[in-house]
Structure 1
């Protein structure tokens, strides 16, 4: 009976020492501080609109648990702003077209001088 108690205590002490050693060596989580939400190592052009190739070229830092959330949040916010700016510009251009009495061409509309001239003859 005494031998079983000694074995259990030995296993508990060795396990505790291994856990303590691992905790000291590996630390508690990420070794880098969290990224500043107002500044990101990701780069998008500031002097022109963001293009699809710009977005495809973005490479985010991979950490032990995946991508850094602050970088992903920053990128999504930048893309949302770019979309809002483009939507506002498209709406303004459509409003200007309506003011001049023209309507915006739809995707199925034929270009001027297209097939309509051929069918009438």
Structure 2
């Protein structure tokens, strides 16, 4: 009787492992996505990020797609920060010097 129990337990364990690893053909086929998310060539807008979708794989999202989007955002934010600093420096250079008098409030 003990031998039958061990054999049945082994068969159940084997079946569970086969299904979990996908050898039982009960899991869906993983879709093969080669290209990453499509980002426009122009400056990014918030709606571009709201609409982005990554391919889902067994352990989450495809890392190469996520890394590509993060690199693009990093470069664009860095460019915008430099441009804002340039514009602020330009405005500061064209402001008239302060004479120490209070500005009238109309």
Q: TM-score, normalised by structure 2?
A: 0.64
Matched residue, 1:93: 87
Name stretches of at least 5 consecutive residues in structure 1 with no aligned partner. 104-115
What whole-Å deviation, never above 9, does each CA across 1:67-113 have from its counterpart, x for those lacking one? Answer: 2222222212211111101001111111222232x18xxxxxxxxxx
- Number of residue pairs matched? 95
Taking the aligned partners of 2:76 and 2:33, their CA distance within structure 1 comes to 25
Match of 1:76 in 2: 70
TM-score normalised by L of structure 1: 0.58
- Aligned position for 2:55: 61
